[in-house]
């Protein structure tokens, strides 16, 4: 297949490029090759390329900054997804798009199934929900994949942030009242290829590593597996010790997978990531 990956320089984009490289013709585009927020450019360039599959790993992901950069967040995470969906439908390409646990409000202690109603509580979540609605309204052939708490090589992530703070001998304070499922980008990319090859019905899928934890529990495991012993303390998300954040975060954002076999435990994925990255 001819596969176009948008946002190939990002953490997930790089893993997708590696996973899909075997047996396919890959075209890798990032900001230098296409501005996905410009409709005419999207329609022309993707229309001329005529890929069989378009994987959209491009996104605006600065959760706090999005509160001040609303227009940009909505353009990249919302309107651009509409443009990509439109051209995919016109050329009958399969669209694979990634969304987030932040399209939900985080009030459900039991997590969120694929058909749960949207109720985002910050601009980032609202912009991602708009992108999802664009796909559902336009209806190309699609796999809309929600994931959460992504970590991996080639990008800023929570694991590397914690290790950096530990090596700097900082006193580390981590939120203990927000819960989700850490997900290894490499595992996610492999599951996406498996989903495409399985020819499962088109629609919304939840893909995260199994299990869930708080950010504090995640940090504790990072230090345990890496052999570091910093001073790390749990704090409430409303604590003044953390300083102020612009965007409100969901409390319980676990994504419940009802359609596919479960992925491996996040702890096992974390161990492999630390070994593979020499961290």
Listed range (168-182, 185-199, 254-268) with the worst mean pLDDT: 168-182
Domain boundaries, the chain: 2-156+183-209
Cα dist from 220 to 110, 177, 193, 232, 253, whole Å: 23, 14, 31, 8, 20
From 60, 74, 112, 124, the catalytic residue:
124
Distance, CA of 41 to chain centre: 25
How far, in Å, CA of 154 to CA of 157, rounded? 9
- The encoded tokens of residue 61 equal 């992901």
How far, in Å, CA of 20 to CA of 187, rounded? 13
What's the average model confidence in pLDDT over 263-272?
98
- The encoded tokens of residue 208 equal 């995260």
pLDDT of residue 8: 96
pLDDT of residue 99: 98
pLDDT of residue 250: 92
Which residues, listed in sequence order, are joined to residue 26 by a DSSP beta bridge? 3
The topology under which CATH files domain 2-156+183-209 is Rossmann fold (3.40.50)
What's the average model confidence in pLDDT over 105-132?
95
**Tens-place pLDDT, residues 39-49:** 999 999 999 99
Cα dist from 18 to 46, 51, 93, 184, whole Å: 21, 18, 21, 14
Listed range (151-155, 159-163, 175-179, 224-228) with the worst mean pLDDT: 151-155
**Tens-place pLDDT, residues 201-260:** 999 999 999 999 999 999 999 999 999 999 999 999 877 666 667 789 999 999 999 999
pLDDT of residue 244: 63
- The per-residue pLDDT of the chain, averaged, comes to 94
CB 151 within 8 A of CB 273: yes
**74 a catalytic residue:** no
Percent of the chain with pLDDT over 90: 90
Q: pTM (2 decimals)?
A: 0.95
């Amino acid at each position: 297949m001819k596969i176009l990956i948008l946002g190939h320089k990002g953490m997930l984009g790089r893993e997708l490029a590696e996973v899909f490289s075997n047996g396919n013709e890959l075209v890798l585009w990032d900001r230098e090759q296409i501005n996905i927020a410009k409709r005419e450019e999207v329609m022309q360039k993707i229309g001329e390329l005529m890929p069989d599959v378009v994987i959209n790993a491009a996104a605006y992901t600065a959760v706090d900054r999005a509160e001040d950069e609303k227009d940009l967040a909505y353009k990249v995470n919302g309107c651009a997804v509409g443009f990509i969906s439109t051209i995919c439908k016109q050329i009958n390409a399969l669209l694979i798009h990634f969304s987030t646990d932040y399209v939900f409000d985080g009030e459900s202690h039991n997590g969120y199934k694929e058909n749960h109603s949207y109720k985002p509580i910050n601009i980032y979540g609202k912009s991602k929900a708009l992108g999802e609605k664009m796909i559902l309204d336009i209806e190309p052939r699609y796999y809309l994949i929600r994931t959460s708490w992504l970590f991996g090589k080639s990008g800023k992530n929570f694991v590397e942030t914690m290790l950096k703070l530990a090596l700097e001998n900082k006193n580390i304070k981590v939120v203990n009242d927000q819960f989700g499922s850490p997900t290894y980008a490499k595992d996610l990319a492999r599951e996406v290829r498996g989903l495409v090859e399985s020819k499962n019905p088109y629609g919304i899928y939840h893909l995260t590593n199994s299990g869930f934890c708080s950010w504090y529990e995640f940090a504790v495991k990072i230090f345990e597996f890496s052999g570091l012993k910093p001073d790390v303390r749990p704090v409430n998300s409303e604590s003044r010790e953390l300083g102020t954040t612009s965007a409100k975060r969901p409390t319980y954002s676990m994504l419940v997978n009802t359609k596919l076999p479960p992925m491996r435990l996040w702890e096992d994925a974390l161990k492999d990531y630390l070994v593979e990255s020499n961290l």
